Structure 1
């Protein structure tokens, strides 16, 4: 079973960043700027484990269905291999067409399943992200931060904050605001399993080869 990319939530970065430092900031009076590691805070929230569990169950259902479809394809492919030599031409052509259709169905199901898991993840995350944003806003207001940046770097991306003083990090303040005792280090972020198509079998390969040779 493969895993989705780490629970980074790249799309959430924009929503959780109140603003970025711009040229206009330099032209105004100095204002207090803070930053937080979104991934770290999310990983510490108990909701993360709940979401991970729900996504795992949801993905398992889809994966089991995918395995059942593949098992049907494999069984019929093996039966075709054993009897192809003695089949009448119309029967053999029909069996090959059926196998091709099953293979396409498996590929389409896999694509739809992966998209479905992503949509499920986004739906489960929305209330958590809303809660996080609300607490970031509260901590910023209470501590006089005019701006809060995101110091987390997702896959292949650059964090909005490249350098800042330690006392500008409000991550632990946000966690305490939510009643969470900050961990000593960022916990592993939750991941969601995605349905993966089983590897092709000799039956599938042979069917494809025979079909090509007929043409």
Structure 2
């Protein structure tokens, strides 16, 4: 259910980079007569060097933990109800048994719905937390491009659009962007995993054993 519970330390920077429209890719017509100069940057790398990243990760982990706690609470309530049904179902009347099975089915459906909405909520929270940092990166990309005469600035991160397949090293303005923000570039952070995170086993929606078929209602 919650993709970042176990992997929030390696926040999906590819997702963050995809949110950012890097540079003025569609330059005004006034630039048409100027010499064409193309630069590129890795938004993932720039973001990984920013001090804001630690706070983003911390806030996202806290939010993820809250969602996981809610899910576990719902799972516990469901399991308790299911255990009681499995232990005492044989002694229930047909009416009580049918009502209990219906309640269990409703609880299971509620778990599945919560799993889906929690994932969406976590993605929205991630976007909300990343937005200020991405805006800051965009602002400094624009400043560096204007000062250095770049007509276009592309994103070299895999999975983003546009994707830079090849370029000269002197066209990489990533460190210039960091310096513009007052950040001393360090060694590149480990490449982020662009594959979707696997669902945490602790937060998967439990699947209840098939309930016994409801019998026709009779008198208690």
TM-score bracket for the superposition, by shorter chain length: 0.7 to 0.9
| SS in structure 2 at match of 1:180 | coil
**Residues 108-187 of structure 1 aligned to structure 2 (within 5 Å):** 108-154=113-159, 160-187=163-190
| SS in structure 2 at match of 1:76 | helix
Offset of residue 186 of structure 1: 2.5
RMSD of aligned Cα (Å)? 2.8
Offset of residue 30 of structure 1: 3.6
Partner of 1:3: 3
CA distance 1:55–1:112, change in 2 (3 Å) = same
CA deviation string 1:105-160 (max 9, x = no partner): 11111111111111111111111111100000111111111111111112xx6752
Q: Distance in 1 between matches of 2:157 and 2:140?
A: 17
Task: Select the residue among 3, 19, 22 that pairs with 1:12.
Answer: 19
Task: List structure 1 runs of 4+ shifted beyond 6 angstroms.
Answer: 190-195
Q: Distance in 2 between matches of 1:133 and 1:48?
A: 16
**Conservation of the 8 A alpha-carbon contact between 2:12 and 2:192:** yes
Offset of residue 198 of structure 1: 4.7
Q: TM-score, normalised by structure 2?
A: 0.81
- Show structure 1 runs of 5+ residues with no match: none
**Residues 1-215 of structure 1 aligned to structure 2 (within 5 Å):** 3-4=3-4, 6-9=12-15, 11-13=18-20, 15-19=21-25, 30-154=35-159, 160-187=163-190, 196-200=203-207, 204-205=208-209, 208-211=210-213
Q: TM-score, normalised by structure 1?
A: 0.83
Q: Distance in 2 between matches of 1:50 and 1:194?
A: 23
CA distance 1:146–1:159, change in 2 (3 Å) = closer
> What is the count of residue pairs matched by the alignment?
202
- Show structure 2 runs of 5+ residues with no match: 5-10
**Conservation of the 8 A alpha-carbon contact between 2:111 and 2:205:** no
Select the structure that is richer in helix.
Answer: 1
Q: Distance in 1 between matches of 2:162 and 2:158?
A: 4
